[in-house]
Amino acid sequence: MQINKNIKILIVGLGLMGGSYAEALTDKGFEVGAICRRQETLDFALEKGFVKHGRCEVDPEYIGQFDLLIFALYPHTFIEWIRDNQQYIKPRALLTDVTGVKCSIVYTIQDMLRSDLEFIGAHPMAGRELSGIEYATKEIFSGANYIVTPTAKNTARAIEFCRQLGTEMGFKTVCELSPPEHDEMIGFLSQLAHCIAVSLMLCKDSRRLVDYTGDSFRDLTRIAKINDVMWSELFLLNKDQLLAQMDLFMEKFTQLRNGIADEDTESIRAMMRLSKQHREYFDIREDR
């Protein structure tokens, strides 16, 4: 299967991410259809020209037309959808997704999937602190990273196809990680960061802090405006990795705390210098 503009793409789920995919792919000249729950959402996507057609119910004949299916659902809904509806999918179609955790999804889907279908996991590292198709825009992909997470069950051509898809949609970089590597990385870089922001915002009623809040604190807590239903699900699906990352952070934080409590200036400064050095790797990349 080559990436060519004649393939028909079905997006399942038209939230922020599904809507943004739909816009990006329609823009690139693909024929894009969608399945979502609410007529209102579909109407919005049709009006905006994100999709050519769509359905608000499972229509076997409709589903059967598509060569590529992209699932932009909450994790458990994705698994249920495959269990209930995979019999309608066109033979030899390719499936991919946008789910933010991988081990608990990729292996499950691959194990339950019809043998003539192929599922390749992907994680677009893009988003907004807002949910719903009304905030969807392909702009969120520019500058962002698209991670393909193949397993031993994936074919080389599916991996290549999925990488091309990321490039087509306008992601800045496309890379590959195994599902366990992905989950460790995302547990640290994204989930732990969200846990920290949430915990910070739990500390105090912030009304009286607003007048004094500088940019650093705002930056640190922007991601605290979290979709609780989606993120609690993602956290629990990556529970072991996330707990490991939280414990690692707590160990370093406690080390710094004890340095301050003991007034051990030299050890505090050494930690700060190491931290600065680590952070500078990011700047080198930013400057490119």
Query: Under 8 Å CB-to-CB from 11, ≥6 apart: which residues?
Result: 18, 21, 22, 25, 32, 33, 34, 35, 51, 70, 72
Cβ 53 to a copy of itself, closest distance in Å?
A: 33
Q: Shortest CA distance to 171 belongs to which of 123, 115, 238, 111? A: 123
Q: Which is nearer to a copy of itself, 47 or 286 (CB)?
A: 286
Cβ 45 to a copy of itself, closest distance in Å?
A: 26
What radius of gyration do the chain's Cα atoms show? 21
Q: Which is nearer to a copy of itself, 113 or 224 (CB)?
A: 224
CA distances from 53 to 27, 104, 187, 193, 223 (A): 15, 32, 37, 38, 34
- What does the alpha-carbon distance between residue 17 and residue 11 come to, in Å, rounded to a whole number? 10
Q: Which is nearer to a copy of itself, 50 or 235 (CB)?
A: 235
Phi-psi region of 164 (alpha: psi -120 to 50; beta: other; left: phi over 0): alpha
User: Contact at 8 Å (CB) between 22 and 32?
Assistant: yes
- Written as six digits, the tokens of 89 are 């999918």
Cβ 166 to a copy of itself, closest distance in Å?
A: 14
CA distances from 224 to 156, 196, 198, 202, 245 (A): 39, 8, 5, 10, 18
Would you state the torsion angle of the CA atoms of residues 58, 77, 190, 108, taken in this order, to the nearest 10 degrees?
A: -110
